[in-house]
Structure 1
């Protein structure tokens, strides 16, 4: 069983681990601070562009719609289209991937889009491609349990205030 997600940075770590462990890709993986210059292997630079609100999960966890970008810097000896080709491979990997995170806390990626881009380091521009997508994480405690861990419920037609926890009753097994 996957470890529960506690914070958004775990998505970064899970994506990086998956990319590094996919032997067929043979990539350097990191963030923009890790990159200094192209080398013998292509680079994939992972970044979070946004953390937006989403619809709560069925269990009440708060939704974090993460906009993730993977910027591909081709290897020095690569052709001009190498980054575009690698984006296609990454798109196939990303589709339907939860990065070994719990399915009830990590939705499938949505809005996958690849575009040509430019990376500038020390006045040196590098032609790159960026693959971006949204992935929703559900973080925090569930609303199904009170602090004691006893599931409770209430029917709107039986209580005067659905937001009053004292009007909830214990869920029977």
Structure 2
């Protein structure tokens, strides 16, 4: 089982690793600041655009509803439809993908939408396509885990002081 995730940036890292290792893509992957100019390979630029509220998970973890985008800048020698074709491949890859993260902490992507876009950098505009989607992460401790150790209880009629933790009994499994 994958290690628990603690922060949204771990989704970025997991996505980048998956895209770099995906068979047949042969792309450079990074964030917008890493992009300089189109080259021999297409670029896929990952961006976390929003971290909105959501319903807690069944185990009590806090939901982080992330709006993500994958912007594709085609290689210099690519055809006019190369970015569109790559967005289609990315959409197929992203559908139902949890990027190797634990399933109880990472929902499947939803609302996948690919649209033409422009990437403006240093006064130059580059034709691009952007795949946007929503993915929910559940972060933090579960409410099922007692941060102080083994969950305990006490019945008011069986103890002399309900505020005395030494009078509590461990819950049975």
- 1:61 matches 2:61: yes
Q: CA deviation at 1:147?
A: 1.3
Per-residue displacement from partner, 1:75-117 (whole Å, max 9, x unpaired)? 0000111000000000000001000000000000011000110
Q: Give TM-score scaled by structure 1 length.
A: 0.88
Runs (4+) of structure 1 exceeding 3 A deviation are 168-171
Q: Show the counterpart of 2:114.
A: 114
Q: CA deviation at 1:71?
A: 0.2
Q: CA deviation at 1:149?
A: 3.4
> Highest Rg: 1 or 2?
2
Q: CA deviation at 1:148?
A: 2.4
Q: Show the counterpart of 2:30.
A: 30
Q: CA deviation at 1:61?
A: 0.2
- 1:91 matches 2:91: yes
Q: Show the counterpart of 1:18.
A: 18
- 1:140 matches 2:140: yes
Per-residue displacement from partner, 1:100-153 (whole Å, max 9, x unpaired)? 000000000011000110001111100100001000000000001211232469
Q: 1:152 to 1:23 in 2, by over 3 A?
A: farther
The Cα RMSD (Å) is 1.7
In structure 2, the gaps of 5 or more residues are 154-164
Q: Give TM-score scaled by structure 2 length.
A: 0.88
Q: CA deviation at 1:23?
A: 3.2
Q: CA deviation at 1:171?
A: 4.0
Aligned to 1:33, the other structure's residue is in SS state helix
Q: Is the 8 A contact 1:59 1:143 kept in 2?
A: yes
Q: 1:83 to 1:169 in 2, by over 3 A?
A: farther
Q: 1:127 to 1:60 in 2, by over 3 A?
A: same
Q: Show the counterpart of 1:130.
A: 130
Aligned to 1:14, the other structure's residue is in SS state helix
